[in-house]
Amino acid sequence: MVSSGVRTDLPKAPGLARSPWIWVLGVLVLAGLVAWVYELAHGLAATGMRDVVSWGMYIFTFAYLVGLSAGGLIVASSAEVFHIEALRPLARLGVLTAMVFSAAAGLMIIPDLGQPSRVLNLFIYPNWTSPLVWDITIITVYFLFSAVELWVMVKRPERKATLTTLAFIGLPLAVLLHSITAIIFGLQFSRPWWNTALMPPIFVASAILSGTALIVLIAWILQRYQRVRIPEGTWRWLAGLMVMALFVDLFFVACDYVTIAWDNIPKDRQVLDMILPGGPFQLTFWFEWVIGGIVPFIILASSKLRRSVGNVALAAVLILMGVYAFRIELVVPAFVNPLIQLPPGTALGAVSSGGSFQLVGHYSPTWVEYLITLGIFALIALAIAIGYRLCRVDHAIRESADHVAD
């Protein structure tokens, strides 16, 4: 028996406009906009990125958001494609998160460009041999598809055949979305840390993992604070899906580690050594493998621990932290350790106390990057809160929950 953790003594939730959290989120969005305006005025020099490390918080957050969006639709489509009745109550929530996070992933690219008008060049002068163009295309298609499927769920729920067809299209589309994003990394011959055929399966596994964890976290919030009951059978399926995806995800990453360590090619090994304990990026290793890996695996694999919905939600939070750590681990170290290190190094474009050239990169996000990223996450929370009300997600959960056996 799973302990539901439902609070029955809670007062009726206030309207959106009267909720203090909505105002807090609004302030954070405004702060992000102010930081973006500051960046537009001062250029990308306002960020921690330079010629050596040219991808930073914007890009690893972008990859993280893409995974969350793909995972949401995978959970939603699996209910229909594989006839998993236990996941059906969360289908509408999964499509809503897929739409919101895919839009947020697209927004995350804008501040990284420095000049937003340049994004139009991707549509006016597309280079179809570039995986970047295909990634922008699939994100756009994915967002529109999610919007259409959500509209059918809300406005035409009686069209079961249409929803089934959309689910069969949505599942491979979600896999394709994260695979193309992974190919952007995997095809970079100049970055040995990325150049592996394992990149797409690692990304897809982490998308299923993080997307399911996101749905678990939102479902727990709804059950605890909105008095929306999630069936125990649904919690069991979510816990099982997370523990399997976590195992597969860590297995793929471990295979990559072993291959690099065994081959012992200097440039590959130098990056791996920065990740492993003792290296400058070891914190991402501990978050990925221990905090976001071993600990949630123990919680979810233990029949006693996973009986509590609170424990399952805790495991989901830890998993989300671990996957984000992997995105940092993936992006930044590959730039910090450039392929060519010849004196005098790469020009920084400015004079600093350490000189105007770098042989090895250094990167720390500035307050501008933190505020813009925080503003994007606040915007996501606002959009989900509004979409939850407009799309009657609670009604969909209650209606489907009656058909799920506890």
Rounded Cα distance, 341 and 274, in Å: 16
Residue 328 pLDDT: 94
Evaluate whether residue 2 is within a structural domain.
no
Q: How many domains does the chain have?
A: 1
Rounded Cα distance, 42 and 49, in Å: 13
Mean pLDDT for back-to-back runs of 10 residues, the chain (406 residues) = 47 56 92 95 89 89 92 84 86 92 93 85 84 88 93 87 90 88 86 87 93 93 86 90 95 92 84 90 94 96 91 96 95 80 60 62 90 96 92 81 60
Straight-line distance from the first to the last Cα atom of the chain, in angstroms, rounded to the nearest whole number: 9
Evaluate whether residue 362 is within a structural domain.
no
Residue 393 pLDDT: 85
The whole domain housing 293 covers 16-338+370-401
Tokens representing residue 77 in the block: 């489509």
Residue 7 pLDDT: 45
Evaluate whether residue 345 is within a structural domain.
no
Q: Under a CB-based contact definition with an 8 Å cutoff, are residues 170 and 70 in contact?
A: no
Between the alpha carbon of residue 242 and those of residues 37, 41, 106, 173, 247, the distances in Å are: 39, 43, 26, 21, 9
Evaluate whether residue 354 is within a structural domain.
no
Any residues with CB less than 8 A from the CB of 18 and at least 6 apart, and which? Answer: none
Evaluate whether residue 356 is within a structural domain.
no
Evaluate whether residue 87 is within a structural domain.
yes
**Looking at residue 258, which CATH number applies to its domain?**
1.20.1630.10
Rounded Cα distance, 328 and 285, in Å: 10
Residue 128 pLDDT: 85
Tokens representing residue 30 in the block: 């405004």
Evaluate whether residue 26 is within a structural domain.
yes
- Residue whose C-alpha is closest to residue 224's, from 309, 122, 285, 104: 309
Residue 119 pLDDT: 82
Residue 6 pLDDT: 46
Residue 405 pLDDT: 54
Evaluate whether residue 351 is within a structural domain.
no
Residue type (1 letter), 342? L
Residue 249 pLDDT: 95
